[in-house]
A and B are shown apart, each in its own frame.
Chain A
């Protein structure tokens, strides 16, 4: 890591175990992480600030993941979104990608897998930012 600012990540999953497992590992890898279990809370947070990367579940009470990520992308097009879901179907995957989602991971996944996806998303984000 250079002296540049840390990449910020928002995690949204209604099962606390997901953030509990992800956050320490992302912290150790030098990311700045905020975790949410309720989509309304995450929604109000992205209205306060932008995140570089968003990791979100799809199927949730209240505002679902698709609505959430649509809003996030609308507010901040440079934000890369990674979808994590236990109900992976071709339909939801297609729909996600049409919304400009960077990648789509089916739960359960390996810690190493998501770290790799995050790393790639971060590279893409930086390239886009440099081009802009």
Chain B
């Protein structure tokens, strides 16, 4: 175990870091030795940071700002390296690579080292502030280690989980059927049976508390040594399970969930469908029909039904499949779906691609009266409808059969096969409206899971469509002929964009463009649209499940949004430069993020090709890497203003990386108020015309040295962001009242007339401070009663660049202050910042811009800061907001033109 107390001993110097990476200097135990390869990478990163900011504290107790800033630089480097590594591992699943277990192990090792270092540097920056982060790191790491050791990780999960709480990352504990049903309900808003999952942990607990594993193992060995036939072994194990006792605490947990379900159903007598929901990325597909499902189970019989269903894990066919494919018992687990029974009027199955369709542009529905079980198992014949996949989903073929029998519910429980009334036998089971609804819904499901689907549905006695199950449909590989056709087909469409930017997630999608200009636009994002935006913001996670594609002007393949897009499998191209100018809302396009082309119009053939992806590899290596990436890649911490944006809210390595990044920026901003500055740093007072005292502290290449001068001329500022800020602040009209054009001067004179005297006096200007380096500036201003912070960093690496702006304080009443906040929000939002407003506190962020854009934005902020210092006094009415906005815009224009 790691001793947290030891961990807070004075942190080693930056130059010690490479040596501290093994089990040596670092006061943390229990680490595996570092391999040469990852050490090499780390050395490069640390060396880079050291080169950039070479400075050392004299003692460990008194750490210089430069050292802490160096830690921040390490964090940025580690952040990028980690995200690249994760993206690289994700690429390996794409099908182009040959990788082995050795790779998976070294990937995990390297990433673990990076995240460990990230937290370590973060600890140096914010000692003892977020102790929880290391605990979360260890927990996630433990789970990954278990996976690498081929043990199924379900520890820590609940015995039961209602559908409302299940999301896709619970697939290991609730199985594929439960997870997809819950996602369709929670994300797509489709009607599915109400219910809950009895998790894989319950299964393990049941097996363990009855001491069944050793017995199962003994029987399995007898079978493997041919002492028993498969059938015999299976029968023996199933009998053991049926005779075993369900543990009391498991019964209690299930009953509590049943009670909740009963309350939701406003019904005292529950009848349940108890279905298998196997775990395993592929076994569930190969086992269609092997596992048991029990219908219309009375509450009293629930636990017997539960045992019957989990016993079917050991059907002879399932055992044989596992042996053949090298699945261990430890890799296998069974979850169970427990659902309120639906009284079905009509049931059936949809294939979103009809197997027999020659042009592959049809979907197929089979439907019959009553429950769906006999349709699925082929016991009764069903009507068949072939429908176009294209709107308005024309019916191309109908084959009606005489439906003699139907399976129905018995009032006391169970089901019975019954003769269909003569009058209904030859009637079509579905109406045209129902067919159309089924087509639309099934294609929506297909789009969401990005695969052709096999869907079971029911229409209940009230006529409501309920989805019972949806799983990927394995379609035979495309014949090569189709590829030639596609090449010919796409030639007919105009190319709107080609080879611009970077593909962040491969795939193909078609839809109408929706340009997102502000976060509020996301609330109106239409399902099936293609998101176009200036920046790649992680906030788009909100609409990711509805988007068929994403194109941004700015961004990188390793940014947070790109990682989310990969998780949702949304075809994504970032950093195109001008997508927001090329595309307009409402335009029909097809995005091919395989070839990096955007076509005008909808190319169905191309989309179809994208859905018919090759069968996912069934090898252990692919399964292992996928499973491990689930603990690494998903990003749950999206919004820094959310309550769960805390160490304890981190559930993946990506969360930790994001949390540390966000908080490190915050930490740095607050740093120099608690930090004694190193007197040996180059520093001095800025010499300029403004009535504003500003101290500059250089931490590396921010100021050009001069022997004779202790004050600093503007010309000596080498810091890129600082120079831009000073330029903005000293622009005509921003601070000083230099002669202006007629309309501008009249506007400005209206301001100066009412300008309170105290605001122009240097006496009230307070202490102003800037900590700068060549690419960095942290500027704190106290103008009048306002308190402004600007923290900005420019780098050749887009991912590192950011500006953080914070504006707070103010002497006037809350109404005026909130007007000022609204003014700033408006101006900043229009200038591409992501803005948060809390009362009179305004926080604006912008990230990942090229250096020239960052300079322009900082220049703009300089102008804005100067302009805003008197605002809350002057904003005497709401109308003034717009007046000031247009006034400021004039000022910006004026300064841009000059």
Contacts and interface: CB of A to CB of B under 8 A. Distances in A.
Given A20-B619, A89-B36, A15 B92 contact: no
B879 interface: no
Given A15-B100, A108-B98, 19 more contacts: A15-B102, A17-B98, A17-B99, A17-B101, A18-B98, A21-B98, A22-B98, A86-B102, A89-B36, A89-B37, A107-B100, A107-B102, A107-B103, A108-B100, A108-B103, A110-B96, A111-B96, A111-B98, A114-B98
A65 B102 CA distance: 16
Interface in B1-37: 36-37
B97 interface: yes
Contacts of B620: 17
7 contacts: A15-B102, A17-B620, A17-B621, A107-B100, A107-B102, A108-B97, A109-B98
Contacts of A86: 100, 102-103, 106
Interface in B65-98: 92, 96-98
A110 B103 CA distance: 13
Contacts of A80: none
- Give the size range of A's interface with the partner: 10 to 19
A112 B101 contact: no
Given A86-B106, A87-B37, A89-B36, A17 B96 contact: no
A7 to B, nearest CB: 19
Contacts of B97: 108-111
B107 to A, nearest CB: 9
A112 B96 contact: yes
B101 A108 contact: no
A38 to B, nearest CB: 16
Interface string A5-25: 000000001010110111000
Contact of B100 (A13, A89, A111): A13
Nearest to B96: A110
A19 B162 CA distance: 44
Contacts of B100: 13, 15, 17-18, 86, 107-108
Nearest to B107: A108
A112 B98 CA distance: 10
A91 to B, nearest CB: 10
Nearest to B101: A15
A114 B97 CA distance: 10
Nearest to B89: A108
Interface string B96-117: 1111111100100000000000
A105 to B, nearest CB: 9
Interface of A: 13, 15, 17-18, 20-22, 86-87, 89, 107-112, 114
A114 B620 CA distance: 22
A33 to B, nearest CB: 14
Nearest to B102: A86
A20 B619 CA distance: 9
- Residue from A13, A17, A21, A86 whose CB has the most chain B CB atoms within 10 Å: A17
Nearest to A21: B98
- Closest 10 A-B residue pairs measured CB to CB? A108-B99, A15-B100, A86-B102, A21-B98, A108-B97, A17-B621, A110-B96, A108-B103, A17-B100, A17-B619
Given A86-B106, A87-B37, A89-B36, A107 B101 contact: no
B211 to A, nearest CB: 35
Given A17-B621, A20-B619, A89-B36, A107 B99 contact: yes
B98 to A, nearest CB: 5
B44 to A, nearest CB: 15
Nearest to B619: A17
Nearest to B37: A87
Contacts of A107: 98-100, 102-103
A108 B98 CA distance: 6
Contacts of A108: 92, 97-100, 103
B99 to A, nearest CB: 4
A111 B95 CA distance: 9
A87 B99 CA distance: 13
Nearest to B103: A108
Contacts of B101: 15, 17
Nearest to B36: A89
Contacts of B37: 87, 89
Nearest to B88: A108
Contacts of A22: 98
Nearest to A22: B98
A125 B812 CA distance: 85
A16 to B, nearest CB: 9
Contacts of A18: 98, 100
A17 B624 CA distance: 13
A89 to B, nearest CB: 7
Nearest to A89: B36
- Residue from B96, B98, B619 whose CB has the most chain A CB atoms within 10 Å: B98
B593 to A, nearest CB: 18
A111 B36 CA distance: 26
A46 to B, nearest CB: 22
Contacts of A21: 98
A89 B92 CA distance: 21
Interface in B624-667: none
Interface in B95-154: 96-103, 106
A110 B99 CA distance: 9
A86 B96 CA distance: 17
A20 B96 CA distance: 14
Contacts of A87: 37
Nearest to B94: A110
A18 B621 CA distance: 10
A1 to B, nearest CB: 17
A107 B98 CA distance: 7
Contacts of A15: 100-102
A22 B98 CA distance: 8
B447 to A, nearest CB: 29
A110 B94 CA distance: 10
Interface in B216-244: none
A22 B100 CA distance: 12
A112 B94 CA distance: 13
A17 B92 CA distance: 13
A17 B98 CA distance: 8
A20 B99 CA distance: 11
Contacts of B106: 86
A21 B98 CA distance: 7
B372 to A, nearest CB: 38
B287 to A, nearest CB: 23
A110 B36 CA distance: 24
Contacts of A17: 98-101, 619-621
A109 B97 CA distance: 6
Contacts of A110: 96-98
Nearest to A13: B100
A58 to B, nearest CB: 11
Nearest to B97: A108
A13 B92 CA distance: 19
A109 B621 CA distance: 15
A21 B101 CA distance: 13
A43 B500 CA distance: 50
A109 B106 CA distance: 15
Contacts of B92: 108
A71 to B, nearest CB: 24
